[in-house]
Chain A
Amino acid sequence: MSAVAAEVAGNDGGLSISLSRVVKSFGKLNVLGSFNLEIPAGQFLAVVGRSGGGKSTLLRLIAGLETATGGRVSIGGRDVDRTLPSVRLLFQEARLVPWQRVIENVGIARGPNWQETARRTLADVGLEGREDDWPSVLSGGQRQRVALARALVSAPQILLLDEPFGALDALTRIEMHRLLERIWTGRGFTTVLITHDVAEAVALADRVVVLREGAIALDIDVDLERPRRELADPRAVDLQRRILEAV
Chain B
Amino acid sequence: MVDLSVAGIATGETRKPNLKSLWSGLAPWALPLVLLVVWEIAARTGLVTARLMPAPTTIAAAFWRSLLDGSLLFHTLASTRRAFIGLAIGGGLGFVAGVLTGLWKPAETLFDSTVQMVRNIPHLALIPLVILWFGIDETAKIFLVSIGVFFPIYINTFYGVRTIDPQIVEMASVYGLDRKALIRRIILPGALPSILVGLRYALGFMWLTLIVAETISSTNGIGYMTMNAREFLQTDVVLLGIIVYALLGKLADVVTRAIEKRVLVWHPAYRIKQGGEP
Listed in ascending order, the chain A residues whose CB lies under 8 Å from chain B are: 1, 63, 65, 83, 85, 88-89, 91, 93, 95, 97-101, 108-110, 134-136, 150, 154
Contact = CB atoms under 8 A, between A and B. Distances in A.
A108 B266 contact: no
Contacts of A95: 167-168, 170-171
A83 B189 contact: no
Given A99-B189, A100-B185, A110-B181, A91 B167 contact: yes
Nearest to A134: B266
B68 interface: no
B170 A108 contact: no
Interface in B118-171: 167-168, 170-171
Q: 9 closest A-B pairs (Cβ-Cβ)?
A: A95-B171, A99-B189, A99-B266, A134-B266, A109-B176, A136-B268, A108-B175, A1-B176, A83-B174
A100 B265 CA distance: 10
B266 A136 contact: yes
B190 A99 contact: yes
A109 B190 CA distance: 17
8 contacts: A88-B175, A97-B185, A97-B186, A99-B267, A100-B185, A108-B177, A109-B175, A136-B266
A117 to B, nearest CB: 14
Nearest to B268: A136
A85 B178 CA distance: 12
A97 B168 contact: yes
A89 B172 CA distance: 11
Contacts of A83: 173-174, 176
A65 B174 contact: yes
- The secondary structure that dominates the A interface is loop
Contacts of B173: 83
Contacts of B268: 136
A91 B174 CA distance: 11
Contacts of B174: 63, 65, 83, 88-89
Contacts of A91: 167, 171
B165 to A, nearest CB: 8
Interface centre among A99, A135, A154 (most CB of B within 10 A): A99
B186 to A, nearest CB: 6
B266 A98 contact: yes
Given A89-B174, A97-B186, A99-B190, 11 more contacts: A65-B170, A83-B174, A88-B174, A97-B172, A98-B266, A99-B267, A100-B266, A108-B177, A108-B185, A109-B175, A150-B175
Interface in B176-214: 176-177, 181, 185-186, 189-190, 192
A175 B206 CA distance: 56
Nearest to B263: A99
Interface of B: 167-168, 170-177, 181, 185-186, 189-190, 192, 265-268, 271
B265 A108 contact: no
A108 to B, nearest CB: 5
Contact of A134 (B171, B175, B177, B265): B265
A83 B171 CA distance: 11
A1 B175 CA distance: 10
A85 B265 contact: no
Contact of A98 (B170, B171, B181, B267): B267
Contacts of B271: 136
Contact of A93 (B167, B177, B192, B265): B167
A136 B265 CA distance: 11
A228 B192 CA distance: 47
Contact of B176 (A85, A98, A135): A85
A95 B177 CA distance: 15
Nearest to B181: A110
A12 B192 CA distance: 40
Contacts of B265: 134
Contacts of B186: 97
Contacts of A85: 176
A189 B189 CA distance: 34
Contacts of A109: 175-177
A195 to B, nearest CB: 20
B122 to A, nearest CB: 36
A108 B186 CA distance: 10
Nearest to B265: A134
B85 to A, nearest CB: 31
B195 to A, nearest CB: 13
Nearest to A150: B175
Nearest to A109: B176
A110 B173 CA distance: 13
A121 B18 CA distance: 48
A109 B271 CA distance: 27
